[in-house]
Amino acid sequence: MTRHRRSITVGVCVLGAAIAAPVASGSSTVAHKPRPAVKKVQVGDNFFSPVKVAIAKGSSVNWVWSNTNFNTHNVTLIKGPKGIKKTAFTSIDGARGLHFKRTFTTPGTYHFECTIHPSMNIVVTVKR
């Protein structure tokens, strides 16, 4: 009789695990927001790379000056969405080793240039 009870207990445990498995597998219909991204833009001697960046609202752009630059550069907002303060999106001038990171919370198109080298341009598009 002990043998019979043991097989019933094992059967119940296996059945319980089979029923619980779909719930524990994480199949959920709750939508999760993606983590905000950080896009890197290289500030080189007389260029930004890439020159077009598309990000989601709440994401950031991190401009990084190359350690091999000889020339001084900056990142300056020339035109952006209505209500955006240009000074909040303007870096200091520098040649090497600088970082300038900004988070974009307003959707729209942002046009930047290096005011020292106006041919250096980049467009950041922020999507909803």
Over range 91-102, report the average pLDDT. 97
Distance of CA 45 to the CA centre of its chain: 25
Beta-carbon contacts of residue 119 (< 8 Å; ≥ 6 apart): 46
Over range 64-86, report the average pLDDT. 97
Beta-carbon contacts of residue 87 (< 8 Å; ≥ 6 apart): none
Phi, psi for residue 6 in degrees, rounded to 5: -60, -40
Domain annotation covers residue 25? no
Domain annotation covers residue 73? yes
> Is pLDDT at 14 greater than 80 in this prediction?
no
The pLDDT, as a whole number, for residue 15 is: 41
Domain annotation covers residue 49? yes
> Is pLDDT at 59 greater than 80 in this prediction?
yes
Q: Which class for 120: exposed (0-12), middle (13-18), buried (19 or more C-beta within 10 A)?
A: buried
Over range 109-120, report the average pLDDT. 98
Domain annotation covers residue 91? yes
Domain annotation covers residue 17? no
Domain annotation covers residue 19? no
Highest mean pLDDT (candidates 3-17, 26-40, 100-114): 100-114
Domain annotation covers residue 107? yes
Tokens of 124: 């950041």
CATH number at residue 50: 2.60.40.420
User: What is the number of structural domains in the chain?
Assistant: 1
Tell me how far apart the alpha carbons of residues 20 and 94 are, in angstroms, rounded to a whole number. Answer: 59
Boundaries of domain holding 64 = 38-127
Domain annotation covers residue 87? yes
The pLDDT, as a whole number, for residue 23 is: 43
**pTM, whole model, 2 decimals?**
0.73
The pLDDT, as a whole number, for residue 35 is: 74
